Structure 1
Amino acid sequence: MRRLALTAIFTLSTGAAAAATCGDTASGFDAWKQAFAAEAQASGVGARGLEALAATQYASRTIEADRNQRSFRYELDEFLRIRGADTIVSQGRSKIANNPNFYGTLEQRYGVPPSVIVAIWGMETGFGNFMGDSNVLSAITTLAYDCRRSDFFTPHAMAALQLVDSGSLSSATIGAMHGEVGHTQFLPGNVGIYGVDGNGDGVVDLTDDVDALASTANFLRQKGWQPGAGFQEGEPNFAVIEQWNAATVYQRAIAVMAGQIDG
């Protein structure tokens, strides 16, 4: 009965469905959701995922943020100042000093220095102090619908619906404006690929700091991190840091802060 009700909501047919068409205003979002629901159902997304999709709303704040990412245009020194690099370095050192066994185990398992992990953690959410104020499902589906980067965000939107089915996300999950979730701000598609149950409770929950930090280390290792190699610009592992964020100034900031934490 539940599946039939959801099918009615989206007016899905048993035949081939029209591909979801992107747009650049809110006016086409509901029609896009109907078409995307058909694609999702054909890909195996179940009742919970489809219901969550039906509840999403066009995220105007997300679109505004995506089109006005001014901070990535700053020079490195100004970017570091604005992002509070001195505080991140100081608190990052304290995090490692207060829990050396945990960070030592992470490095032993994944080969990634604790300084890099905590620099990312500090940059992304201020060590979990602010993990976002946007509905994850609405944000990621809005970006999948928006024509600017639909090809990039559509797989993440599909993954988000699958995570709802598995119980890792819900229609009420809150995260960042681009649909990232947790302490180190994973996009939904990356949760399923790189997410790790670090605390052993049987659930990958990136709002838990242990799971999030283990997942971050796993992401970097799977992207090619070379244990023992350097990570500053021109060194082997800087190319892996480039996989974390597309903005050059962001990549450089992580490397600089991690080096200062080690220093």
Structure 2
Amino acid sequence: MRLAVAFALTALASPGLAAQCGNDSSGFAAWKQAFAQEAAAAGVGQAGLNALANAQYSTSTIRADRNQTGVRYALDEFIRIRLGSLDSFASQMRRELNRNPNFYASLERNYGVPAGILLAIHGMETGFGRTMGNTPVVDSITTVAYDCRRSAFFTPHAIAALKLVDRGGLAPGQRGAAHGEMGHTQFLPGNALRYGVDADGNGRVDLYTVADSLASTANFLRQKGWQPGQGFQEGSANFRVLNEWNAATVYQQAIALSAAKLQ
């Protein structure tokens, strides 16, 4: 703890220092020291700065980032690989729905997004919370913010992750996916900060709880243009909103087809 505080104060005392990206782990420590100044200027508090000081370069994140191939499957193949079948996946969705139907009804009342859409996303992203990732979020998001390939894109998300630590919505060692995606529906930290909802009323947004995560997902879709009471199949305005969640057409199609099974 003392080392982390000293680290933050040292960084703040060096106003001319700029965070320089890199392509391997050798410059990560220097980058963190410079980035602490940027983070503090952006409003990150001591807890977030401590988390940054303790962040480790994530080789698993870099390996995953370097080996991305994109989604290139036909729809039927994507459904087979990702879902098994629409019918079996819909049965899992229905079981989840029946655990707390009033909760899903309240989300549709508040945001206009039907249960089927939210359950399809929840199931496709993490298997309804079974697999939320094994990489510490602060490690992964600071690693890709440091990495020169997409530093500009990930830097705001790194700032957001540190702010979430400040607010108690992200534990410093909390684990997520390879690029900092977090919680039941795999929000990037910047989106969690902007669209996160404290659905259970405990005073903080925690996307590792089902209530906050699914309410935040519904809020995200509504803010992106979801039209309550309208259809969501391919060609509709609501289907186009799914592109905001995931840019792969087969992913959007699988969400819509799965959700339709619950209607």
For 2:202, the equivalent position in structure 1 comes to 201
Tell me how far 1:181 sits from its aligned partner: 1.3
- Give the % identical residues: 61
Please tell me the residue identity of whatever aligns with 1:50: L
For 2:144, the equivalent position in structure 1 comes to 143
Tell me how far 1:71 sits from its aligned partner: 5.7
Q: Distance in 1 between matches of 2:135 and 2:24?
A: 19
Tell me how far 1:88 sits from its aligned partner: 2.6
For 2:112, the equivalent position in structure 1 comes to 111
Q: Indicate if the aligned counterparts of 2:4 and 2:53 stay in contact, CA closer than 8 A.
A: no
SS in 2 for 1:12: helix
- Unmatched 5+ stretches in structure 1: none
Spell out the pairing of 1:56-67 with structure 2 (5 A cutoff).
Answer: 56-67=55-66
Tell me how far 1:8 sits from its aligned partner: 4.3
Q: Distance in 2 between matches of 1:22 and 1:138?
A: 15
Does the alignment pair 1:173 with 2:151? no
For 2:43, the equivalent position in structure 1 comes to 44
For 1:162, the equivalent position in structure 2 comes to 163
Q: Distance in 1 between matches of 2:9 and 2:245?
A: 36
Bigger Cα displacement from structure 2, 125-134 vs 99-108: 99-108
Q: Distance in 2 between matches of 1:69 and 1:78?
A: 19
Q: Indicate if the aligned counterparts of 1:121 and 1:184 stay in contact, CA closer than 8 A.
A: yes
Q: With the length of structure 1 as denominator, give the TM-score of the two structures.
A: 0.92
Give the number of equivalent residue pairs.
Answer: 261
Q: Distance in 2 between matches of 1:246 and 1:212?
A: 20
Bigger Cα displacement from structure 2, 147-156 vs 83-92: 83-92
Q: Distance in 2 between matches of 1:130 and 1:145?
A: 26
Q: Indicate if the aligned counterparts of 1:56 and 1:141 stay in contact, CA closer than 8 A.
A: yes
Q: Indicate if the aligned counterparts of 2:168 and 2:204 stay in contact, CA closer than 8 A.
A: no
Q: With the length of structure 2 as denominator, give the TM-score of the two structures.
A: 0.92
- Unmatched 5+ stretches in structure 2: none
Q: Distance in 2 between matches of 1:107 and 1:5?
A: 44
Spell out the pairing of 1:1-263 with structure 2 (5 A cutoff).
Answer: 6-8=5-7, 11-12=10-11, 14=13, 16-70=15-69, 72-86=71-85, 87-262=88-263
CA gap 1:136/1:127 in 2 versus in 1, 3 angstroms: same
SS in 1 for 2:71: helix
CA gap 1:259/1:17 in 2 versus in 1, 3 angstroms: farther
CA RMSD, 1 decimal = 2.0
Stretches (4+) displaced over 6 A: none
Q: Indicate if the aligned counterparts of 1:71 and 1:79 stay in contact, CA closer than 8 A.
A: no
Q: Distance in 1 between matches of 2:107 and 2:19?
A: 42
Q: Indicate if the aligned counterparts of 1:111 and 1:225 stay in contact, CA closer than 8 A.
A: yes
Q: Distance in 2 between matches of 1:196 and 1:247?
A: 26
